[in-house]
Amino acid sequence: MWWRMRSLKLDALMVCWGLGTWLGVNGLFVQLPLLVERLPEGWALPSSIVLAIQVANVGMLAYAVLKRLRPRASDAPYVAGLLALGAAALALNAFLYEHTAPLGGRERSVAFLVLTFCAALVGCTSSVLFYPYLRHFRSTYLYTYLAGEGLSGFVPGILALVQGIGGEPDCLPSDDGTTLEPHYPPPRFDTTVFMLILAALSALSLVSFLMLDNWPGFSTERVTACIIDQPDKNKPRVSLCARRWVCVFALTGALNALSNGVLPSVQSYSCMPYGTVTYHLAVTLAAMANPVVCLVGIWLRPVSARVLTAMLTIAIFPLAYVLATAALSPEPPLRDQGAGSALVIVAWVALLALISYGRIWVYTVCRDGGGRAMRACGAFTQVGSAVGSLLMYYLVNYTAIFTDAPACPAPIVFIRE
């Protein structure tokens, strides 16, 4: 039987370890429907989060410097330290996320964004730190690790669905009666509890890694001599300037610019006009669709280039719709109709599912191209993400293209003649 050819205990530890990779980032994104109502950035908060995540890519540079200074040092202490940092950042954020500080003449969520940066270091550094460590074990355990990594988006989505959003705010007169103030009904449990649950799961990821790294019973599952990728002298050298590779790298940059920069920054403007419940469902279901597509992509053969082209062509329609609703905010089409809410939710889920599959496809192609292609793919991934994030941060915060709306309308004042 297949389970006799592997250690199920090690499989469980691999899944729990992989769970901690993007848990902090995905968890914060599914909390946005609650956070944009309470933090001073408002609807512009997602663009600030996206920028903080991109800055966290400095973790890869720090790891490269450490490897240059200590090339023979084990990666295990770095992995454990990073997971501990992520768990601590989530635990601190649970109590400090509402604390603000004046910056640039405005109140800013400095503590929340700094701790978001710390939590994002885990995911941003995992591709260069966690994957190489997996070479100490048989290749069959790569898939259980990837399954856990996929759950890092699925589990926060399930928690957010259980948590709920509380509903639309009640607009009540202020003490002086001149304005209407929003009063938000509470969810089943608040953001503090949500983040503490994520911190506990991150701590579980840390404990799982320490066990699989030190447990002597897994010695039979280890690879005694790690065979590092070496170029095959009989294999012709791949020309990355060929038309095929230029198209692949351009697609890589474009897809990551959308998924990691453009779309997260405008989702609040696209969905919030339809209500907090619509925004909550769009964020949560889209976050759950991404890991599901990633897991499907692991087990199924990739489609042909023509089929992928057709899929991405179809994705243009929901992309145009979500960008249009964001640009027309706070008065998007079908704003006060149930069909409008349903349409924007379906558009977001379908769009992110198609983009997620496209990213899996290009990564598969690059992996077949060898180490040079993978490094180039990683470079275009980071460049595309950075360009999309910086562009949208500027457009959201320093132009009038995207407009939010007050939670409550201005009161009607009757003037006696």
* DSSP calls for 226-290: -------TTSPPP-TTSHHHHHHHHHHHHHHHIIIIIHHHHHHHHHGGG-HHHHHHHHHHHHHHH
pLDDT band at 414 (very low <50, low <70, confident <90, very high): very low
Same-domain check for residues 97 and 211: yes
pLDDT band at 4 (very low <50, low <70, confident <90, very high): low
Gap between the terminal Cα atoms of the chain? 89
Q: What angle do CA 45, 250, 142 make, to 5 degrees?
A: 75
Same-domain check for residues 343 and 302: yes
pLDDT at 315: 94
128 lies in a domain? yes
Same-domain check for residues 91 and 212: yes
**pLDDT higher than threshold 60 for residue 209:** yes
Mean pLDDT of the chain: 83
Same-domain check for residues 273 and 197: no
Same-domain check for residues 180 and 293: no
CATH number at residue 27: 1.20.1250.20
Same-domain check for residues 198 and 273: no
Same-domain check for residues 198 and 247: no
Segments forming the whole domain that contains residue 30: 8-216
Q: Among 182, 216, 250, identify where a domain stops.
A: 216
Q: What would the mean pLDDT of 186-208 be, rounded to a whole number?
A: 93
Choose between 132 and 380: higher pLDDT: 380
414 lies in a domain? no
Same-domain check for residues 273 and 381: yes
223 lies in a domain? no
pLDDT at 409: 65
Same-domain check for residues 245 and 374: yes
372 lies in a domain? yes
Nearest by Cα to 145 from 128, 133, 159, 158: 133
233 lies in a domain? no
226 lies in a domain? no
Same-domain check for residues 175 and 78: yes
324 lies in a domain? yes
Q: Which range is least confidently modeled, 106-120, 129-143, 321-335?
A: 129-143
Choose between 28 and 138: higher pLDDT: 28
Q: Among 185, 216, 247, identify where a domain stops.
A: 216
pLDDT band at 411 (very low <50, low <70, confident <90, very high): low
**pLDDT higher than threshold 60 for residue 318:** yes
**pLDDT higher than threshold 90 for residue 134:** no
pLDDT at 343: 96
Could you tell me if residue 225 is left (phi over 0), alpha (psi between -120 and 50 degrees) or otherwise beta? beta
The per-residue pLDDT for range 143-161, each reduced to its tens digit, is 778 778 778 888 888 888 8
The per-residue pLDDT for range 342-398, each reduced to its tens digit, is 999 999 999 999 998 888 888 778 767 766 777 777 778 878 888 898 899 899 888
Single pTM value for the model? 0.79
Same-domain check for residues 258 and 206: no
The per-residue pLDDT for range 225-277, each reduced to its tens digit, is 544 444 444 555 667 778 888 898 899 999 989 988 899 889 989 998 998 88
**pLDDT higher than threshold 70 for residue 220:** yes
Choose between 164 and 92: higher pLDDT: 92
pLDDT band at 294 (very low <50, low <70, confident <90, very high): low
Share of residues in the chain with pLDDT > 90 (%):
28
pLDDT at 205: 95
Helix (H) or strand (E) holding 372: helix 371-398
329 lies in a domain? yes
Q: Go through the chain and tell me how many residues it has.
A: 417
Q: Among 216, 251, 282, identify where a domain stops.
A: 216
Q: How many domains does the chain have?
A: 2
**pLDDT higher than threshold 80 for residue 84:** yes
Same-domain check for residues 112 and 183: yes
